[in-house]
Chain A
Amino acid sequence: MRSFLKNNGLSLFFLALFLGALTGQAFAGHAALNEDALRHGDPTMSMGRYVLSSQFGGAVLENWQSEYLQFTLFILTTVWLLQRGSPESKPLDKAGRESDKDQKVGRHANQESPRWARVAGLRRTLFENSLLIVMAAIWVGSWFAQSVTGLSQYNAERLDHHQLPVSWLDYLGRADFWERTLENWQSEFLAVGSMAILAVYLRQRGSPESKPVGAPHEATGVEG
């Protein structure tokens, strides 16, 4: 049990944080919604109904999509784009997809390499890009979920104001959809860019996200 906790500390800790924050969001969102309903003399909603509502789903998913976009872009762009001095960047001479030897694929794979790294063809192409494919699929899936839950709220509001509902495609061009999208994107892009450049000159002893404390500011692609 102790070795399980030690070996999986990072994923367990963040899973617990996620569930705690999601629960907190549900309670706070439910309270805020009912406060607003009482102010307008509208009927209140039960917690169960709120958790299964488009309001809650939309609020959750619009944040998911931006996080997964952030990681998708970070995984993809760091193949080619470099940042001198950053531990988030590869060394300056490694831009690109690198050789089979560097990547330990095909005949350069060793006994411990995953089976799909040793084979050729479609299976290896899929495995070579599997992290990007899955992160991008989660991004697209959560952006889609954001769009349909957002549409449902948008149309409910339009009906309240005696306006006709709009279609999904129409909603994708509306300011409401893009405000909910871009307000999340901007923070992710700033966070990634600042992480790449701040880590050139700043350190966190013991963190693999930082260079070793004594590494020179110029050292690129060195993790502590």
Chain B
Amino acid sequence: MRPGELMRAMFVLYLVVIVVGLVLYSAIGLMHQ
């Protein structure tokens, strides 16, 4: 992969970590209602 593609992969990785955290714990909180 070229440097630009690796940089983009890092950008996507961060977004994935954040979205997984938000969705997972929102779902857990909502399920426990």
**Chain A interfacial positions (CB closer than 8 Å to B):** 3-4, 7-8, 11-12, 15, 18, 52-54, 57-58, 60-61, 64, 138, 141-142, 144-145, 147-152, 155-156, 168
Known: A57-B25, A145-B25; 18 extra A-B contacts, CB below 8 A, are: A4-B3, A4-B6, A7-B7, A15-B13, A15-B14, A54-B29, A57-B28, A60-B21, A61-B25, A145-B22, A147-B29, A148-B29, A148-B30, A149-B25, A150-B29, A151-B29, A152-B29, A168-B33
The CA-CA distance from A8 to B12 in the complex, in Å, is 13
Closest beta carbon of chain A to B26's beta carbon, Å? 4
Closest beta carbon of chain B to A144's beta carbon, Å? 6
Closest beta carbon of chain B to A186's beta carbon, Å? 23
Closest beta carbon of chain A to B15's beta carbon, Å? 8
Query: With A144-B26, A149-B25 as given contacts, are A11 and B14 in contact (CB-CB < 8 Å)?
Result: yes
Query: With A141-B22, A145-B29 as given contacts, are A7 and B3 in contact (CB-CB < 8 Å)?
Result: yes
Q: Is the interface of B mostly helix, strand, loop or mixed?
A: helix
Query: With A15-B13, A52-B28 as given contacts, are A61 and B21 in contact (CB-CB < 8 Å)?
Result: yes
Query: With A3-B3, A61-B25, A145-B22 as given contacts, are A8 and B10 in contact (CB-CB < 8 Å)?
Result: yes
The CA-CA distance from A149 to B25 in the complex, in Å, is 7
Q: Is the interface of A mostly helix, strand, loop or mixed?
A: helix
Closest beta carbon of chain A to B12's beta carbon, Å? 11
Task: Identify the closest chain A residue to B29 (Cβ).
Answer: A148
- B residues 1-33 in Cβ contact with A at 8 Å: 3, 6-7, 10, 13-14, 17-18, 21-22, 24-26, 28-30, 32-33
CB contacts (< 8 Å) of A12 on chain B: these are 10
Closest beta carbon of chain A to B17's beta carbon, Å? 8
